Amino acid sequence: MSMHNGDGKMRVITYRDAIREALLEEMKRDNTVFLLGEDIGRCWEGAFKVTKGLAEEFGDERVRDTPISESAIIGTAVGAAITGMKPIAEIMFGDLTTLAMDQIANQAAKIHYMFGAQAKVPLVIRTPFGGGVNIAAHHSQSLEAWFMHIPGLLVAVPSTAYDAKGLLKTAIQGSNPIIFCEHKLLYPTEGPVPEEDYTIPLGIADIKNEGEDLTIVATMFMVHKALNAARMLKKEGLGIEVVDPRTLVPLDKKTIIDSVKKTGRLVIAAEDCKTAGVTAEIAAMVAEEAIDYLDAPIRRVAEPDTPIPFSPPLEKYVIPDERRIIKTIREII
């Protein structure tokens, strides 16, 4: 884990609380910031309780419960964003961004460009992705790759409480639409977070573990599985470098390539379906820009191309885990 640069104190808090703190601090700092989404208000406080206490703190006008109208949630946020506000929209499950794809891809992401830079769209879309809690095909997907493919949109994929808070604050302070991808299983995970104010710039990868023998680029919950794998392999004397891009757009190609130059071996691990997923872009980028430094084929660890099944043994089988990471590493080392 990279250390915070400031010299302020750290506390250990959850990823969930880190996100909530970012919302809270930015709403205090800037009264054009407001939240909208389904059941984020005082009755429910978010399906994952991320907005706990915020309606009490800021009132129902700034923490707005909406109807079940995903398209209108994003469309409304776009309209507010281009007229001076800074909306933060929550889509309750990442799978439901499908209902708002026109507003996300065609409106939010393109307005600044299409209108010749007359308007800015400072819009944050928060949504949880990922499987592992047995809620099946409509509530477990990881769709980050779709959003990487939309020019004009930024994509954040924090894996720790520290990264989540710092990146979210940057996102809120920014001027561009950004999809802020959270992971259901990360919410309760804990990590050190500074007491003082801080932000993390977009597009700076974090080397979560240093190593000389192989590079794993991992995102979201897979970062932790990669770190576990790295720990296990360390016992065998293998040094695995775990690179967490933290944002997919912009992507910190340099850190990834530098790591590959050092280790000569690359595994990419993400939880989404393999074909045309997050791992594809990173593999392609390296095959284009750093192939000569590779001493072995690139390997991808991802979900097989199936919907997420419900039954626990089935779900466990498709979501990549430490064993698959280690098995994959052994294939090329």
Partner 1 sequence: MEKGKIIELYRKMLEIRLFEEKVFELYGQNIVPGTIHLYIGEEAIAAGVCSNLRKDDYIVSTHRGHGHCIAKGARLDMTMAEILGKKTGYCRGKGGSMHIADFSVGMLGATAVVGAGIPIATGAGLSIKLRGTDQVVACFFGDGAANQGTFHEGINLAAVWKLPVVFICENNLYAMGTCQSQVMLIKDIAERATAYGIPGVSVNGNDAIAVYETAEKAIKHARHGNGPSLIECKTYRHKGHSRFDPATYRPKEEVEEWLKKDPIQNLKRQLLEKGYLLNAGMAQIEREVNDIIEKAAQFAIDSPYPPPEEALENVYA
Q: Does 68 bind ligand TPP (CB under 6 A)?
A: yes
Nearer to a second copy, 193 or 214 (CB): 214
Applying CB under 6 A, among 96, 257, 290, 333 the residue interacting with ligand TPP is 96
Site for ligand TPP in 26-45 (CB under 6 A): 38
Nearer to partner 1, 78 or 267 (CB): 78
Catalytic annotation on 138? no
Q: Does 133 bind ligand TPP (CB under 6 A)?
A: no
Minimum distance from residue 46 beta carbon to partner 1 (Å)? 10
Of these residues, 139, 149, 183, 224, which one is catalytic?
139
Compose the 47-86 pattern: x for residues touching a second copy by CB under 8 A, - for all others.
----------------------------------------
Applying CB under 8 A, among 297, 317, 323, 330 the residue interacting with a second copy is 297
As a three-state string, the secondary structure of 131-186 is CCCCCCCCCCCCCHHHHHCCCCCEEECCCCHHHHHHHHHHHHHCCCCEEEEEECCC
Compose the 241-280 pattern: x for residues touching ligand TPP by CB under 6 A, - for all others.
----------------------------------------
185 touches 132 (CB < 8 A): yes
Compose the 110-149 pattern: x for residues touching a second copy by CB under 8 A, - for all others.
x--xx---------------------xxx----x-xx-xx
Part in contact with partner 1 (CB under 8 A); list of ranges 32-40, 51-59, 184-192, 203-211: 32-40
Site for partner 1 in 135-164 (CB under 8 A): 135-139, 151-152, 154
Minimum distance from residue 319 beta carbon to partner 1 (Å)? 10
Site for partner 1 in 302-321 (CB under 8 A): 304-307, 309-318
Q: Does 80 bind partner 1 (CB under 8 A)?
A: yes
Q: Which residues bind ligand TPP (CB under 6 A)?
A: 38, 68, 70, 92, 96, 99
Catalytic residue annotation? 139
